[in-house]
Amino acid sequence: MSARRAIIGALLTGTFLAPLSRAPASAAEPADDGFSLMREQMVTGVSKRPLPLSETPSSVTVIPAAEIRAMGYQTLGDALRWVRGLFVTYDRNYTYLGVRGLQRPGDYNNKILLSVDGHTLNGAVYGDAAFGPELGLDLEQVERIEVVRGPGSTFYGSYAVLAVVNVVTRRPRGEPGARLDLRAGGAGEWRGRASVASALPGGPEWSASLSWLQAHGPDLYFAEFDDPLTHSGRAIGLDGERALSFFGTAEWGTARLAVKLNDREKGLPTASFNTRFGDDRNRTWDGHDYVELSATRRASHVLELTGRTYWDGSRYRGQYIYVFDPDPTPVDSRDWGDSDVLGAECRAQWAVASRQALTLGLEAQRLLRAHMENVDLFPPATYYDQTVTGNLVGAYLQDEIRLGQRLIFTAGARLDHDSRFEAVVSPRADLVWTLRPGTRLKLLGGSAFRAPSPYESGPLPGAPSPGATRLSAERVATIEGTLEHEAGPVTASLTAYDNQVRDLIDLVQVDENGPERYQNRARARTHGVEGELRMVPDAATRARLALSWQRSEDGDTGTELTNSPRWNAHVLAYHVLPGGRTTVGTGARYLSSRLTLAGQRTAAAMVCDARLGRRLAPGLTAGFEVRNLFDARYGDPGSEEHVQDQIAQDSRTFFVTLSYLSSEPR
């Protein structure tokens, strides 16, 4: 704890001068269309600078604050379920995100880069991204969520293989002076949040938010444990959860300080990793903290600089209770996976000419430690205790050229050199072609990678062989094309893509009696088509209809991949009138059956959610939510650590919310 305080103190008292903003490149004038003005949004997750959605070469979905409010999303997983081509899996502990049919059970979300205001939140030990309560970020303070499909390593480096999910929080000036939120329902779930903000003219702007979660969780039944010796398969009071989180920002001029802290404890009702079923000591603790200081400076009318420095720390601890025959004495086993990272990034955006903009960046990281340990407390035994350090340097360059009024061509590449694996180059080229007013064709081709994590490179807990495995980075090559057409209040899009993934890191058994190790051995291919209709009938109403088809297969055998739905669809509509008394949001999503590890198939599922919000008095709003309205019964495929082939998902649940705002957000 003292080391963490020293690191935070050094960052808070240190100075770092550097910069950002969009280089002024000439752009075509927007069409004289009121609907396009309502539709057009700015996104930063594609190129680390603001871009109009119509000019982004990638296939991007933006979830605005109005949708978060209308639908009552509490976690990123809640929101991302409603994004075209994405699906969410929950194993009663962690939330996993699948992109275009790829979500290999047990992959820790390490092929998706998660960032908050541009700060990468993939853990340094496992490469994991958190999309559930384990993230510790309240969506009430989020301005928008940007989902950028396709390879993103050109700007972000490792993890940005399938997509980049960038969460943009509200600036302090956009927050109410004070806010209180309370949510209750489900299986004994209570959530609370309190926030304050200040944005006095001429002074610093700041905001701070503290939230907590306490949930009993539903009582569950698992047929795999239906035996008198294992409580007849009933897990009573074992799905509980507790969480506490803090998020704060302060801005002065062009400088910004952000602090995030969180801690979550979760019970394990599934008896994963062959632990003792029904033992309430089985649980995990997670947290991901960071402190980041950033600044911007305009060096001239054609050059703008941005820079940031940060400390990032991820924490994991697991308590697992085992019973090994013939000794009935419980064995108390503990896992640790903690990391501390120091990093800095400098970026320059230079308007070389009236129709050309260059982006140059340099990023450096020092992995102070990635500590992994696995021990038995009773009887005492140590199976694994290793600390990994390392350095990373990444440099990237992107050139954006406007060819006339209709073509935008972008090309770039990034070089990553990590002391723990071989250097990787990630190139990408994009074209945005306006065929005629309101109709655009977007083409992209590129490569991305995921570096092997310290956990994968070292021996697994319990493996007798010491030393580390020399692994190569996973690589993906992507070709994608999107056709968009706007007609009044309706925007239609059609996307086709092909992903070729090689050097997948899989857990394999070295020999018949030997330990399991991670090795580069697999290939995969996924291709598909996505269609979407987005409707903006007026300033307060949004609706969308999406349908995706894909096929993902093993690159060597051609067999279907597990947990890969062939069809994915949803329809969603919401109405949020600024200053209005009532908000309404409703949607239905469909996911086709998926192959499990045991060769079975899950049931196809249609799930409907709805929410109604009503202002009771100035500043006071109540909401009523129902999840899984028609009580669909379905399961998600289990991972290798589970005895269960399928893990049942939540049945119909109700929630009531109450919010007080001292003033409306701007």
Q: What is the pLDDT of residues 109-148, one digit of tens each?
A: 999 999 999 999 999 999 999 999 999 999 999 999 999 9
Domains of the chain, residue spans: 2-661
Closest C-alpha to 432, from 475, 391, 403: 403
Alpha-carbon distance of 7 to 526, in angstroms, equals: 43
Alpha-carbon distance of 429 to 400, in angstroms, equals: 10
Q: Supply the DSSP symbol for 141.
A: G
Q: What is the pLDDT of residues 140-162, one digit of tens each?
A: 999 999 999 999 999 999 999 99
Closest C-alpha to 508, from 497, 521, 495, 496: 521
- Reported in sequence order, the residue ranges of 76-216 that DSSP labels E, i.e. its strands, are 86-90, 95-99, 112-116, 119-120, 142-149, 163-169, 178-185, 189-199, 205-215
Pairing of strands 178-185, 189-199: antiparallel
3-state helix, strand, coil in the chain (%, to 5): 10, 55, 35
pLDDT computed for residue 22 by the predictor: 32
Residues of the chain with pLDDT under 50: 1-34, 37-38, 461-467
pLDDT computed for residue 576 by the predictor: 92
Contact 476, 162 (CB under 8 A): yes
Contact 363, 306 (CB under 8 A): no
Helices (H) and strands (E) in the chain, counts: 6, 35
Query: Which tokens sit at 124?
Result: 């340094």
Alpha-carbon distance of 378 to 319, in angstroms, equals: 12
Helical (H) or strand (E) element with 288: strand 283-300
Query: Which tokens sit at 420?
Result: 């723990």
Alpha-carbon distance of 530 to 532, in angstroms, equals: 7
Taken as a whole, the chain contains a residue count of 666
Residue type, 185: G
- Reported in sequence order, the residue ranges of 592-639 that DSSP labels E, i.e. its strands, are 605-617, 620-627, 635-637
φ, ψ of residue 156 to 5 degrees: the values are -105, -15
Alpha-carbon distance of 306 to 218, in angstroms, equals: 47
CATH hierarchy code of domain 2-661: 2.40.170.20
Alpha-carbon distance of 659 to 469, in angstroms, equals: 52
pLDDT computed for residue 255 by the predictor: 95
Could you tell me which residues are beta bridge partners of residue 291? 259, 311
SS (H, E, C) 64-100: EHHHHHHHCCCCHHHHHCCCCCEEEEECCCCEEEEEC
Q: What is the pLDDT of residues 394-435, one digit of tens each?
A: 999 999 999 988 999 999 999 999 888 889 999 999 999 999
- Reported in sequence order, the residue ranges of 404-436 that DSSP labels E, i.e. its strands, are 407-418, 421-436
pLDDT computed for residue 328 by the predictor: 84
